[in-house]
Structure 1
Amino acid sequence: MENQEKNSSKDKRNNLIVIILSVLLAVLASLFFWQRSSYRTDAVLIRAEKDSIASELTRMASGYDSLRSQNDSLNQTISYAQTKVKDLLSEVDQVKNVSYQQITKYRQEVTTLRDIMRNYIVQIDSLNQKNQRLMADISDVKQEVTEVKSANQQLESDKKKLEQTVNLAAQMEATDLKATGITAKGKEQIKASKIEKVKIDFILSKNLTAKRGAKNIYV
């Protein structure tokens, strides 16, 4: 009787142990599958983040091709920044098993490079605006120079016309012309055979623009 009770107690204890072990095994199996699933999910997320970083770096590298100015020094710094973007892109592409720490590091670097690129965009935009204002000023100056040249040419033409007018105005007109034949002694002579000189009498009109002094008379 006592042996039966002992065996029964022992069987109950064994059954309890089996139940506990079964529960522990089930819990461990659940944890294993959960961790494995979580690991796969994390790997997918990390991979997606890596691809996103690579895509953004590719766009930035292409965007730098359009960032060119007439400032050689600025172009050199832009080229250097583009090289850094391409180097980081190459590093990201070559990494196979990337970690969260690396993703965080890459994200920080991408943010820094993006801020640098934006700064260059602002600088180039400012330079372009200054160049446009400068070109407008140059155009205005050229227009003013053209207008001044045209005005000078007009003044020169007006000056020549005025000089011609003054010269014409300075001429003195002779009126009441009278020709008389005279001999060598200055006596008037009617016979043509005895006339040696011709005396011209005339009256010069008054002209205030004519210069004073002796005048040449052309008959």
Structure 2
Amino acid sequence: MKNELIRIGIGGPVGAGKTLLIEKLLPKMIADGLNVVVVTNDLVTKEDAARLKDSGLIDPDRIVGVETGACPHTAIREDPAANLCAVERLSSLYDPDILFVESGGDNLASTFSPDLVDYWIFMIDCAAGHDIPRKRGLGVLKADLVLVNKADIAAFVGTSLEKMAQGMEEVRPGRAWLMSSLLNDEDVQDIYETLRQQLPFKRRADATTT
């Protein structure tokens, strides 16, 4: 019987930490017995796919790089055909529980097509300034989970974490968001636990390891 696939999108500007998030979540998911595959997007390269393949965290064949060749959000929203082909290929080969689709680095307006993902995370970077939430980009407003990443460097770039948090509460009242540093394993664990609470993969992970 085929697994019930959960497709998780990860979007955000260049350098927000999208690939690093996958690198941090993979060991936790694999330890929980989850069957994971990954699709990455880059504009005219497959750099993120190569990085993940070289990481040793997962079988390189379980990673497919997509060269979007145009505006990154076009490939995850208006015309996700190339990504859908990659999803279908990996799904047919590995029957995964979890499939990540990492967007190419984009602006605050990027969103995912529901044809491509079931749940999506949007990442912003504290180095971009504490006014980012108040700009009300679609990614910040619409994502299932927003990660305010690189909290550890906020003081060095003049960003107020208090103002960042106030902005997030203002634009996402009652919706999930986390302040994080992906270099802090406690923060990574908080992200993973949030996913476990919001997505129905805990039961399958437990079943797989019994």
Under a length normalisation based on structure 1, what TM-score does the superposition of the two structures give? 0.21
Q: Which one scores higher on RCO, CA 8 angstroms, separation ≥ 6?
A: 2
The structure with the largest alpha-carbon Rg is: 1
More strand by share: 2
More helix by share: 1
Under a length normalisation based on structure 2, what TM-score does the superposition of the two structures give? 0.22
